[in-house]
Chains A and B, each alone.
Chain A
Amino acid sequence: MRLQGVGKRYGDGAWILSDVDLDLRAGDVVAVAGANGAGKSTLLRVLVGLSRPTVGDVTGRPTAVGYVPDRFPPHDRMSARAYLTHMGRIRGLRGRQARRRADELLDRLALAGGADTALRRLSRGNSQKVALAQALLVQPELLVLDEPWSGLDAEAHGTLGEIITELGRDGSRVVFTDHREAVTAAHAHRTYRIDAGRLTEAVTAAPARVELRPTGDDPVALADLPGVTGTQERDGTVTMLVDAEHCDAVLRAALDGGWSVMAVRRSAGVLR
């Protein structure tokens, strides 16, 4: 699926998206980070086909699309199970199939209060679970989630992460937004940043693990350089965690300051 030169505005208003290019291959898990009002939600609406771009093309959108909105309005007297069964039928499942699938998903997401609770009685986190379940009734080839982690409890956080990983492995395309770098780095293969409607691929946010050995007697101290988040010394080897964006500068300072670089690796963010 591909977005080419996509721009969006309403009437004569300001451009909410401009010149957005995005390629989504099967199995891609993509995060979009950006401030409120930067155009994240509009981009997602274009992706799922709710909004048509003013300029540019969207090609190759798969048929099975799942959409999880930012805020799922719970003022509905219908029960969670009934709602999901209706959505399953609309997706083409038989009634019984849809009900079974709804129960499976609500079980997995651990909906508090039970499947027969009216949607409007659910808390924000629980209605978010229903919103997630409706998008998964049929295995989506494209799953788009708007701030899916906000409002979910800790246990559901893990489940959502698992679900996203599984979908990516099974060849679905997953796009989600979040404003926290730690979340996007942990779950996405690629992270994009959106600012004033422009989409740019972000440098990998995972910190680097740098191993150094002193070459002389008096190497310069590196621990206070910007971007260094941790140091550890063992058997003469110093291991440091360095933020990706500062890594080059720290390495240059180390080489100039009497250190030899033994290894640079992507790290999970902890020193052992």
Chain B
Amino acid sequence: MTALVRYTLANVVLSQRYLPAVLVFLVVLVVFTGADSGPLLPVYAVSAAAVFACGTWLTVVTINAEDPTQRAVTVVNAGGSGRVLVASVWVAFAWCVFLGVIGLFYPLLTGHHRAVPAEFALGAVAELTSACTGIAVGLLCSRIVVRRTGVAVLAALAGIFAFLLVPGLPPVRSEFLLLAGGRPASAVLAPAVGFAAVAVVLLMGMSVLTRYVARRKD
């Protein structure tokens, strides 16, 4: 699995298709959270939302970096499409961790916040929730599920907006409302961890669904 993850990562990095997603993330972070001196949690809600959207984008980029024929060769060499998919999920997760770490520290370095450990922990839980949900949406919009690029872009946008805007749809929107609600971090940490768990389960479910749909198309 290490070799497969390494290859997948090398392929995305060399394709340079990660650049737009990472740049958009950095711009959003600088514009909305830089040199801020208000409360920290709403700032983390913004950076987690950016991780969510860019995580979806990076997941699609990671999987689509391989042409279908090239992927077929990788699948045969790896001994199964499931392993290749799991490697892609790990690489997408690594991208999200990279963005998430920047999202957690950048506001602290440039703004004037008094960081409480509980707030920092809540921010990390929110980034995790966003990462898992973003990857889950990205998997279903990747080429192994949706062959046409136009349809995939529309599906990804629909997925991102649905999770951000539809009231009552867990886990990211509920997570952001907790962060922006003005309650102390220690009080909302427990439900936040609950939403993160929902996101992890969602990611696992969508991985299984992606594999099922992809196998039907093969």
- Judged by DSSP, the binding face of A is loop
Interface 0/1 of A39-62, CB less than 8 Å to B: 000000100111110000000000
A52-B218, A78-B14, A89-B3 known; A73-B70 Cβ under 8 A: yes
Shortest Cβ gap from B102 to chain A (Å)? 25
Decide yes or no: A69 and B69 within 8 Å by CB, A49-B76, A90-B77 being known contacts. yes
Flag whether A67 is at the interface (Cβ < 8 A).
yes
Cβ-defined partner of A90 (8 Å) among B15, B78, B81, B218: B78
- CB within 8 Å: A-B pair count: 65
Digit string of A60-77 for contact with B (CB within 8 Å is 1, else 0)? 000101110111110111
**A134 is an interface residue with CB less than 8 A from chain B:** yes
CA distance A73 to B11 in the complex (A): 14
- Given A73-B69, A86-B7, check contact A134 B14 (CB 8 Å): no
Contacts of B14 in A (CB 8 A): 76-78
For this complex, into which size category does the number of interface residues on chain B fall?
Answer: 20 to 34
Instruction: State the CA gap A255–B215 with chains docked (Å).
Output: 59
Could you tell me the distance between the alpha carbons of A73 and B66 in the complex, rounded to whole angstroms? 9
> Is B4 engaged at the interface, CB distance under 8 Å to the other chain?
yes
CB distance from A133 to the nearest CB of B (A): 11
Contact string, B136-163, partner A, CB cutoff 8 A, digits 1/0? 0000000000000000000000000000
Whether B218 pairs with A78 at a CB distance below 8 angstroms is: no
Question: How distant is A172 from chain B, measured CB to nearest CB, in Å?
Answer: 15
Interface of B is mostly: helix
Known: A45-B218, A73-B69, A77-B14. A50 touches B7 (CB 8 A): no
- Give the nearest-CB partner of A78 in chain B: B14
A59 to B74, CA, bound (A): 22
A76 with B77, Cβ < 8 A, contacts A52-B218, A86-B7, A89-B3 known: no
Cβ-neighbour of A89 out of B7, B70, B79 (below 8 A)? B7
Of A71, A77, A91, which is within 8 A of B69 by CB?
A71
Q: A67-B72, A67-B73, A87-B77 are in contact. Are A51 and B15 (CB under 8 A)?
A: no
Give the 7 A-B residue pairs with the shortest CB-CB distance, closest first.
A89-B3, A86-B7, A67-B76, A73-B67, A77-B14, A90-B3, A51-B218
11 A-B interface contacts by CB (under 8 A): A10-B217, A49-B76, A51-B218, A69-B72, A76-B70, A78-B11, A82-B10, A86-B10, A87-B7, A90-B78, A134-B73
